[in-house]
Chains A and B, each alone.
Chain A
């Protein structure tokens, strides 16, 4: 697994404000890093698992995908332009989203923050 992905669970769950922002979020979504998909499972704002997608039937409500170098840039403390935000990556054609976007849009800042947690210091 990409090292930065390991940080998501711990950093989200260690941030009470972020968990509170996601208090109504209980679902799984797919995070695509290059050719590898990961299943990110969330229960009431807490990340309970980040694991490689091993089976075709393992899926999520929506999918966010980008190339590995794009995520590596995204997770830098100060990313380059077009790599600093999910929607900036969408605008630049660097990331793609699919699936049921409603829960993503209902909690958009929460999901943006969850994705960015590997960027945090510490």
Chain B
């Protein structure tokens, strides 16, 4: 010991908190970001948090051109549930999720951001493209489809005789591709083990029951808000077939199936995922955003 010490090599990610008003609740939100340029808002999967995007935020090939912003939804990660949560059953709905993302983008005064979400985040971005195309430059749905079929009962995820964190992680562990590195597999699952009681279950209400909209997805106008769909080969819920079916219903949508990847591309295999997402981000950057109404100042 002794002598001059050097500071650790900090990552470029900076995290902060603020209070976001959503649907009548004041929610303390945790947000982190890195980079500068086109705002790229990233939405985490059900029952997880924004740490899933840490690899993108540490990638200069992305952060040289994009201001990458990820936040924990209320009830998730380091964002707290609203006051009075103890007497509520958490249940995410389509309307609440849409409003949360829009309120977040308004609060940060983001000028028509690109929004990228995974799983339930990949589902909600399609709702955003449908209902609010002029507020978003482009949407990227990772493991997102307009229709899914549940394959297990959600009650297993929140009951006193089963450890919630362990069972949530174990339910989704097979959603990581067998080829993905163990280090990233188990980090991805650790986030599931840390979720609050009943939160993953409440998210899946949106993902599996409230979010279907294959009857309306053909109305998405990709000339106003372009749509990308990227799904992993090993995803058991948003399968490649469901992704292709969704793309076939959305005229102009671009679909990519990622071989050797599962349901968590950005966190389970970041090196492989970047080979798929970098060309998409480059393309978005090269194409001028469709014209839209007046937008908030940055």
Contact = CB atoms under 8 A, between A and B. Distances in A.
A87 B174 contact: yes
Contact of B162 (A84, A105, A112): A105
A108 B161 CA distance: 13
A10 interface: no
B236 A112 contact: no
Contacts of B237: 91
Contacts of B161: 102, 106
A78 interface: yes
A112 B166 CA distance: 13
Interface string B263-279: 00000000000000000
Interface string B231-273: 0011011000000000000000000000000000000000000
A3 to B, nearest CB: 21
Contacts of A78: 178-179
The DSSP consensus for interface residues of chain A is: helix
Interface residues of A, number: 19
A106 B162 CA distance: 5
Contacts of A112: 170, 173-174
B177 interface: yes
A79 interface: yes
Contacts of A90: 151-152
A43 interface: no
The majority secondary structure among interface residues of chain B is: loop
A102 B162 CA distance: 8
Interface in A63-122: 78-79, 81-82, 84-88, 90-92, 101-102, 105-106, 108-109, 112
Q: Which of B152, B156, B169, B170 has the most CB of A within 10 A?
A: B170
Contacts of A106: 161-163, 167
10 contacts: A81-B234, A85-B175, A85-B236, A87-B174, A87-B236, A88-B175, A91-B236, A105-B167, A106-B162, A112-B174
B149 to A, nearest CB: 8
A63 B151 CA distance: 17
A88 B166 contact: no
A78 B174 CA distance: 13
Nearest to A77: B178
A81 B233 CA distance: 7
B171 interface: yes
Given A87-B152, A88-B174, A109 B234 contact: no
B170 A88 contact: no
Nearest to A21: B166
B236 A82 contact: yes
